[in-house]
Amino acid sequence: MADFPYAIVGFDLDGTLLDTSHDLCVALNHALGLAGRPPVPVEDVSRHIGGGAAQMLRSALTESGGVDEAAFDGLQAALLAFYADNIAHHTTFFAGGAAMLDALDARGVKIAIATNKKEALAVRLFEELGILHRFACVIGGDTLGPGRAKPKPDMLHEMVARCGGGAAAFVGDTTFDVGAAKAAGLPVVAVRFGFNDLPAHELGADAVIDHFDELVPALEALASAGRTG
């Protein structure tokens, strides 16, 4: 199936490929507890997720009384340490995710990850889930240094370069993902089941899907419409 229009398909991690909300919520609430703040219910945590751990913590602290800047770095370190030790207790693919990766593999696609999660945490999560081998590269929010995470395009340019170049598309769930893809000149598909910081149809993506079964046809349709990055 070498005639598939994209040589590379990149994915955001949290809220796109994997439902990490429960494990992130437990870690967030650990940090909030250290700050004397009330916990965030797991069903409500997704709106804090998307820009990396610092933004998630800052968002939750802001809602519950404000951010103590003097204590923030220590709380973030505690959150990350707890999360690293408890990273894969509840995390799973979104429905159809594994089969979708199989379908892309069968078409000879290089599958990449570009996430604002720290690279070491993303790699650790994939290792614990036994799926690290499925990805041609894993680029985290800290991989390229400060100030270069999504929504800037740098990570997606690096993703294409590390995969050897060629037509690429990106899949995400937030304004960070869509903004980065647009800035990088890549077609972008938004997932409606993710941690959307706006309703999926308002993110500005080139296509929106409700289930991973729809991804391959959506990418083929984008290519037919002339959207190849």
Active site residues: 12
Q: What are phi and psi of 48, to 5 degrees?
A: -90, -10
Dihedral-angle region of residue 66 (phi above 0 means left; psi in -120 to 50 means alpha; beta otherwise): left
**What does DSSP say about strands 168-172 and 188-191: parallel, antiparallel, or unpaired?**
parallel
- 114, two tokens: 């570009």
Cα 5 vs. chain centroid, distance in angstroms? Answer: 23
Distance CA 85, CA 38 (A): 22
Residues β-bridged to residue 208: 190
| C-alpha distance from residue 228 to each of 2, 141, 166, 169 (Å) | 16, 25, 9, 7
Residues contacting residue 83 through CB under 8 Å, at least 6 positions apart: 23, 24, 27, 53, 121
